[in-house]
Structure 1
Amino acid sequence: MTIEQRISAFNELSQLFKYITNNVQPTSIELHEKFKALDEEIEYAVKDAEAYNNWFTKENVFFALSNWSEALTTESLSQWIAPYNFKPTDKNVGIIMAGNLPLVGFHDLLAVVLADHTALIKTSSKDDKLMKFIVKYLYTINEDFKDVLKIIDRLKDFDAVIATGSNNTARYFEQYFSKVPNIIRKNRTSVAVLNGTETPEELKALGNDMFMYFGLGCRNITKVYFKSEEQIHPFFESIYDWGVKVINHPKYANNYDYNRAIYLLGQDKFLDNNFVLLKYDENLHSPIAVINYEFYDDVNKVKDFLKENTDQIQCVVGHDMKDNPNYVEFGKTQTPTLTDYADNIDTLKFLAEI
């Protein structure tokens, strides 16, 4: 396949995602009939994804598909790959995907295919239903995708690897894949630094950064720095609408109840608004249904700390944080662009050099 054919195929995928999430009709009658014939299969794939992973609610799946529908346009994809000079030497690139969010490994798949390599995909058992549906659909667009997109049970005969996992699994990945070019991703999280000048709209948008996908992603904010205690009440008030969305989910509610019981038994310092616990804690990472917080006097000390721990951080939100390389606007952490790379490692650059 030519690069134009690959981009065209992903653009068709964009139209399919828009059809699924917003019932936006495609650009041709042929595609309309093709999409319409898939209605039952689409519905089953979405329900199947949630059945195998209860965190993958229909709302979260549609949110992920909607974001990808905006990214997979011909213009966006062409602009994304334009700066790179890909070698005409096809390599087998193993992709070990995470499963914490719907389609979290799709960016790697997309990058490998557009870099003119072959993707050997080891899906996560937590997110294989949607991924397999998408790969199957790409096969219907062009059968040549069967040569460059391969879902495998065991990774072998690979020239490079992109693997995503926890800090523990990363140690094994680094050892096992040390002899080939690799990207090994570890645990990361995101942080907000509030100075009291935030509008109610910005604080409400911060709720999206915290609670979308139930806080399971590296782009979800798990730590907040406040300048004063007076900021906490408006903060709680602004995120209130998220309460019904998350606390009625059984798995989230179980985590909330469990962590609350543990903190009460341990006599830990925390605040509670009946759907999230605000815990006074220096750690950047927090459990599900918990947001860690601290107060600060000097924002420059916070900046220095975040720079020293940049290997743990994916996004930083806050008016005073615009000079941080991981800065993201309020409410935008869960809508990354094609160039917002996981662990801030340029995947296309890596693929161009192997």
Structure 2
Amino acid sequence: MATLEQRFNAFIKLGEFFGNFTKTSSDNLSLADDNNEWHQKFESAITLAGHKNGWFTKQQVMFAISAWAEQLNEKNLNKWLSPYPLENNIHKIVAIIMAGNIPLVGFHDFVATLISGNQVLAKCSSNDNILLPFIAKYLIHIEPELASEIEFSEGRLTKFDVVIATGSNNTARYFAHYFGNKPNIIRKNRNSIAILTGKETKEQLSELGEDIFRYYGLGCRNVSKLFVPKEYSFDDFFKSINTYQSLIDQNKYANNYDYNKAVYLMSEFQFLDNGFFLLKEDVGYASPIGTAFYERYTTTEELRKRLLRDSDQIQCIVGGDIIENSLPFGKTQKPDLWDYADGIDTVEFLLKT
């Protein structure tokens, strides 16, 4: 069994591997060093992941890898883990049921489980079952003691002590029924929002485009809803996000945009359109691909009350300086290690279970 120090050092080396890979790969992932066997294998895994899931373009996967490269270093790992008494952890098998909406979406649970001294029993989504198994092989390559601590399962999960499951609101009900007799974290649908005041700079609005469009808007940290003042004009917003218009060249995104636009037209809904992105006034939070909902607010106090009431539906809040702990524009897709999904401290949960 790998020691805590071995686990810690393995993830530092993994971060270095990620960083070297992103530096030696061009935009089309051609390698500078053809003799690097693991780089070649990683490139092949990324290509295969893209073939299996059209949303996992090389650009999007590379962004995810780069973000993790920035996090997995000694400084960040120490900052993250130093508050926890990891030496008191009781080794357990943690079943992790992962979503597959964006590349490596379940990787934080994987890291938290292993680095805290536990064993991973992972069930990947069929939409994302290439990248993490490859990364696990590399971890075992640099730290063979981890071989007994990582297992992937495609069938029914049986022998485990704790469950971390992520899915839709519908699957969450199934998870709660099936895993209710085990300590668990069960995550449901959440969406992220942005609060605009009308005083944003063009640079801030452009950065908001990153929060909206990264991973084609498929993640829970993607902004899918805008709250704007009553008389807000979207002219500057549309001008500022025009740099993302190449999204329409991606077939799956274009098909969703065209479909949703046709639905809105046939339903005679009012909407705004810039040729690759739609804005629809709607009280909901979960907008379809190629669309964001918006809602106008009268006072910031009313908006605070609304968001507090709906907090269980919201993952991130961007901008506005109206809500405590809101994020700057452009930062939703680069969470720190200590930024936990749904605000649930995974490491603390594992230590206390």
Shorter chain as denominator, the TM-score bin is over 0.9
Match of 1:329 in 2: 328
The superposition leaves residues 204-250 of structure 1 with CA deviations (integer Å, 9 ceiling, x where unpaired) of: 00000000000000000011011144430001100011111x11111
Alpha-carbon distance change, 344 to 34 in structure 1, aligned in 2, over 3 angstroms: farther
Match of 2:71 in 1: 71
Match of 2:40 in 1: 40
Match of 2:144 in 1: 143
Are 1:99 and 1:124, in contact at CA under 8 Å, matched by a contact in 2?
A: yes
The superposition leaves residues 62-110 of structure 1 with CA deviations (integer Å, 9 ceiling, x where unpaired) of: 0000000011101211221111123342101100011111111110010
Match of 1:204 in 2: 206
1:174 corresponds to 2:144: no
Match of 1:340 in 2: 339
SS of 1:6's equivalent?
Answer: helix
Task: Letter of the 1:328 partner, please give it.
Answer: L
Q: What is the aligned residue count?
A: 344
**Distance in 2 separating the partners of 1:105 and 1:115:** 16
Match of 1:219 in 2: 221
SS of 1:241's equivalent?
Answer: helix
Which deviates further from its counterpart, 76-85 or 97-106? Answer: 76-85
SS of 1:321's equivalent?
Answer: coil
SS of 2:194's equivalent?
Answer: strand
Displacement, 1:273?
Answer: 0.4
Identity %: 47
Match of 1:27 in 2: none
Match of 2:18 in 1: 17
Match of 1:97 in 2: 98
Alpha-carbon distance change, 163 to 124 in structure 1, aligned in 2, over 3 angstroms: same
Displacement, 1:117?
Answer: 0.8
**Distance in 1 separating the partners of 2:15 and 2:232:** 45
Are 2:89 and 2:351, in contact at CA under 8 Å, matched by a contact in 1?
A: no
**Distance in 1 separating the partners of 2:248 and 2:230:** 28
Match of 2:54 in 1: 54
The superposition leaves residues 305-348 of structure 1 with CA deviations (integer Å, 9 ceiling, x where unpaired) of: 1110000001111223342x4x1111000110001111111101
Task: Letter of the 1:221 partner, please give it.
Answer: V
The superposition leaves residues 139-175 of structure 1 with CA deviations (integer Å, 9 ceiling, x where unpaired) of: 1112211111111223111100000000000000011
Displacement, 1:128?
Answer: 1.0
Are 2:34 and 2:40, in contact at CA under 8 Å, matched by a contact in 1?
A: no
What RMSD over aligned residues (CA atoms) do the two structures have, in Å? 1.6
Match of 2:295 in 1: 294
**Distance in 2 separating the partners of 1:80 and 1:108:** 14
Task: Letter of the 2:91 partner, please give it.
Answer: D
**Distance in 2 separating the partners of 1:346 and 1:158:** 20
Match of 1:240 in 2: 242
Displacement, 1:33?
Answer: 9.0
Which deviates further from its counterpart, 271-280 or 33-42? Answer: 33-42
Q: Write out the 4+ residue segments of structure 1 that deviate beyond 6 Å after TM superposition.
A: 32-35
Match of 2:283 in 1: 282
SS of 2:140's equivalent?
Answer: helix
Are 2:12 and 2:74, in contact at CA under 8 Å, matched by a contact in 1?
A: yes
TM normalised by structure 1 equals 0.94
Are 1:303 and 1:321, in contact at CA under 8 Å, matched by a contact in 2?
A: yes
**Distance in 1 separating the partners of 2:191 and 2:227:** 14
Match of 2:348 in 1: 349
Match of 1:29 in 2: none
Are 1:16 and 1:35, in contact at CA under 8 Å, matched by a contact in 2?
A: no
